[in-house]
Amino acid sequence: MATRQRAFANKMIDILNGGALNLAVAIGYRTGLFDTLAVFDSPQPAAVIAARAGLSRRYVAEWLAAMATGGILEISRQDTGESLYRLLPDQAACLTRSAGSDNLAVYAQEMPLLTVLAMERVIEGFKSGRGIPYSHYPQFQAFMSELANAKHEKLLVEAFLPSIEDGALVSRLQQGIRVCDVGCGEGVALLLMAEAFPASRFVGIDNSAEALKAARSTLQARGLANLEFMDLDAALIDDTPRLHGRFDYVTAFDAIHDQRRPLRVLRGIRRLLAGGGIFSMVDIDAHSEPADNLQHPMGPFLYTVSLMHCMPVGLQDDGMGLGMMWGREKAQAMLTEAGFERIRILHMDFDPFNIHFLCYG
């Protein structure tokens, strides 16, 4: 085999092993095996690990072998020849539930989940060009909400809002302004803001009945009087005059790139703003041209998540199908086309995978 072909064959072998390990890591995370392994401070045989986890010894043994040959667990031998396994602290710090924001195992769920939910429909889509409805991905929506919730809870009030206009927005929120979050999902961002800024009033817009049901039930439990949710297709905001000019601050977190009609949505959002109002659009940090994304540390992962979810949901009903990696150049052009007069692109040290478009009406 020629040298370059051999090098590529080796890369393909790494890909096959990496894909298999992603699946095995996802299974280990779901079954709690990493958390169990983190409890032991010495190498253990499969039977002891399985017994502590309350799982089948044979299944656990096969999984441990995959983890050890993949370099995720340390493997050694007893005098009897039996294999012993240990999760080292550096690995535990990225794989266990107690790892908090360093927990990368949670992301290993994404590809297996999307494969189960959508692989056949996506393959059909290659032939038909048709999109896939949001309703096809109920578990994925819940998974994404869980990830977003963890991020908002950590960053929104402490880091994101204070980064806007050197803290001036926070002062206005403390005094009392009107805020709308478009594509609010289960309302995590709004619930946090409404609690932190009781003098301000908040409205969430989404068109997912399940997300709004969850949002309203949390709202009721928390007893906040300054927040309400509206069931509305964001593409119809432009045609809903009673909402126009009603908000001083509008947000859209991770909610524009999978819109079917993103330009209409952005035009509507601009209409929501009162004089002097501002709009924060937070979306994936990437360039619009794939050739400019070769240095992106998670390019293949994010393009594939987009292929499996964001792009097909955006193609539904002859939608535009922007995809998650639509990129800052396309985003900036569309925000300008929607009528925003000034757009600042802000990098966020506390959230390096996203970018903040701060837009003035």
Ligand X SMILES: C[S@@+](CC[C@H](N)C(=O)[O-])C[C@H]1O[C@@H](n2cnc3c(N)ncnc32)[C@H](O)[C@@H]1O
Among 234, 322, 325, 359, binds ligand X (CB under 6 A): 234
Q: Which amino acid is at 233?
A: D
Query: Between β-strands 342-347 and 201-206, what pairing exists: parallel, antiparallel or unpaired?
Result: unpaired
* Listed ranges 4-12, 63-71, 154-162, 232-240: which one lies at the site for ligand X (CB under 6 A): 232-240
Among 74, 124, 228, 233, binds ligand X (CB under 6 A): 233
Task: With CB under 6 A as the rule, give the number of residues binding ligand X.
Answer: 20
Site string for ligand X, 8-27 (x = CB under 6 A): --------------------
Site string for ligand X, 106-145 (x = CB under 6 A): --------------------------------------xx
Site string for ligand X, 143-162 (x = CB under 6 A): -xx--x--------------
Q: Confirm or reject binding of residue 235 to ligand X (CB under 6 A).
A: yes
Among 35, 110, 238, 254, binds ligand X (CB under 6 A): 254
Q: Confirm or reject binding of residue 306 to ligand X (CB under 6 A).
A: no
Minimum CB separation from ligand X for residue 316, in Å?
10
Minimum CB separation from ligand X for residue 351, in Å?
12
Please say which residue, 65 or 148, places its beta carbon nearer to ligand X: 148
In the chain, the N- to C-terminal Cα span, in Å, equals 60
Please say which residue, 207 or 336, places its beta carbon nearer to ligand X: 207
Using CB under 6 A, which residues numbered 181 to 220 contact ligand X?
Answer: 183-185, 188-189, 205-208, 211
- The candidate with the shortest Cα–Cα distance to 136, out of 163, 156, 117, is 117
Minimum CB separation from ligand X for residue 267, in Å?
13
Minimum CB separation from ligand X for residue 102, in Å?
21
Using CB under 6 A, which residues numbered 258 to 297 contact ligand X?
Answer: 259
Please say which residue, 235 or 305, places its beta carbon nearer to ligand X: 235
Positive or negative, the CA dihedral 321, 327, 333, 339 is positive
Please say which residue, 207 or 293, places its beta carbon nearer to ligand X: 207
Positive or negative, the CA dihedral 148, 307, 284, 8 is positive
Q: Phi/psi at 137 (nearest 5 deg)?
A: -120, 45
Instruction: Summarize as ranges the residues that interact with ligand X (CB under 6 A).
Output: 144-145, 148, 183-185, 188-189, 205-208, 211, 233-235, 253-255, 259
